[in-house]
Amino acid sequence: MISPFEDVIIQTVCRILIPFIQLYGLYVIAHGHSSPGGGFQGGVILGASFILLCLSYDLQEIKKRLSQRANVIFLSVGVIIYAGIGIVCLLLGGNYLDYSWLRQILPVDPVEARSIGIFGIEVGVGVTVMAVMISIFLDLASEEEQKGS
Amino acid sequence: MVWQLNLILLLFVLICAIASITVKDLLSSAIIFGVYSFFMCLLWAEMGSVDVAFTEASVGAGVSTIFFIVAILKTTRRSKD
């Protein structure tokens, strides 16, 4: 559906712009617990950078950079990070996602442990949202090639 | 919080919402819906809810507009009714 076309202005601008968009997405994720933003917004920005790559080149470009299998693995790893941190807190004696109990395995005080815990959660949410956005876009945009499988 | 600015933004939101459901071309409708999301984002940012405004700007005005356009490209551009 998205036919490949050669436009040197669009491709050059997007190639220069995409690393900065991804850097901004990582900034939003990393500062999510102390400023506006967070895992969801940063993940959407990261996913939008891959969608921009797909729009400015073609569908094969994004499959070269990030294969469908790697995308599914990212999707699952984010959920595992989220649930894993919660279950680690559960195993250490606290409630689910009660980050202050992470102080037993980390050499920090409870306040610092809470900050590290919520950062891990943001990373998990961001990875999952990025993979889901790319997956929805690829499912919508790709043609009948996936209809048989 | 300036109520005059709020009123102007709310007026733009209403205009965009009505235009988005009355226009016949579905591609124009999707673009106007993106504009609606952006004015909604400005309204929320002006009311002091920066986090919601951020979500609206990235999801509503960014990704969901792209999804609408891709869905329109897969189907037909003209509305039947």
The model's pLDDT over A34-81, given as tens digits with 9 standing for 90+, comes to 888 888 999 999 999 999 988 888 888 888 888 889 999 999 999 999
**Prediction ipTM score:** 0.83
The token duo for A73 is 């693995």
Q: What pLDDT sits at residue A133?
A: 92
**Domain locations along chain B:** 3-74
On whether the CB atoms of residues A119 and A37 are closer than 8 A, the answer is: no
Residue A140: is its pLDDT beyond 90? no
Task: State the average pLDDT over residues B11-23.
Answer: 94
- A44/B contact by beta carbon, under 8 A: yes
> What are the angstrom distances between the C-alpha of A122 and each of A9, A40, A119, A125?
35, 8, 5, 5
pLDDT band for position A83 (50/70/90)? very high
Q: What pLDDT sits at residue B52?
A: 92
CA separation for the pair A147, A63 (Å, rounded):
17
Chain B CB contacts of A47 under 8 Å are 63
A74, A53, A49, A58: which is closest to A142 by C-alpha? A58
Residue A2: is its pLDDT beyond 70? no
CA nearest A25 in B: which residue? B58
Chain B CB contacts of A43 under 8 Å are none
CA separation for the pair A85, B16 (Å, rounded):
43
- Residue B54 has its nearest CB partner, among A41, A47, A137, at A41
**Domain locations along chain A:** 8-144
Q: What pLDDT sits at residue A148?
A: 46
- A86/B contact by beta carbon, under 8 A: no
Q: What pLDDT sits at residue B73?
A: 85
Residue A128: is its pLDDT beyond 60? yes
Q: What pLDDT sits at residue B43?
A: 93
CA nearest A48 in B: which residue? B63
Chain A CB contacts of B63 under 8 Å are 44, 47-48, 51, 133
Contact between B62 and A48 using a beta-carbon 8 Å cutoff? yes
Contact between B54 and A37 using a beta-carbon 8 Å cutoff? yes
Chain B CB contacts of A28 under 8 Å are 54
Contact between B63 and A133 using a beta-carbon 8 Å cutoff? yes
Percent pLDDT > 90 in chain B is: 73
Q: What pLDDT sits at residue A98?
A: 85
Looking at CA atoms only, how far is residue B14 from chain A in angstroms?
26
Q: What pLDDT sits at residue A149?
A: 41
Task: State the average pLDDT over residues B20-29.
Answer: 91
Ranges of H-type helices in chain A: 8-30, 39-56, 59-65, 68-91, 110-141
Task: State the average pLDDT over residues A112-138.
Answer: 91
Tell me the backbone φ, ψ of residue A21, rounded to 5 degrees.
Answer: -65, -40
Q: What pLDDT sits at residue A4?
A: 61
Contact between B73 and A1 using a beta-carbon 8 Å cutoff? yes
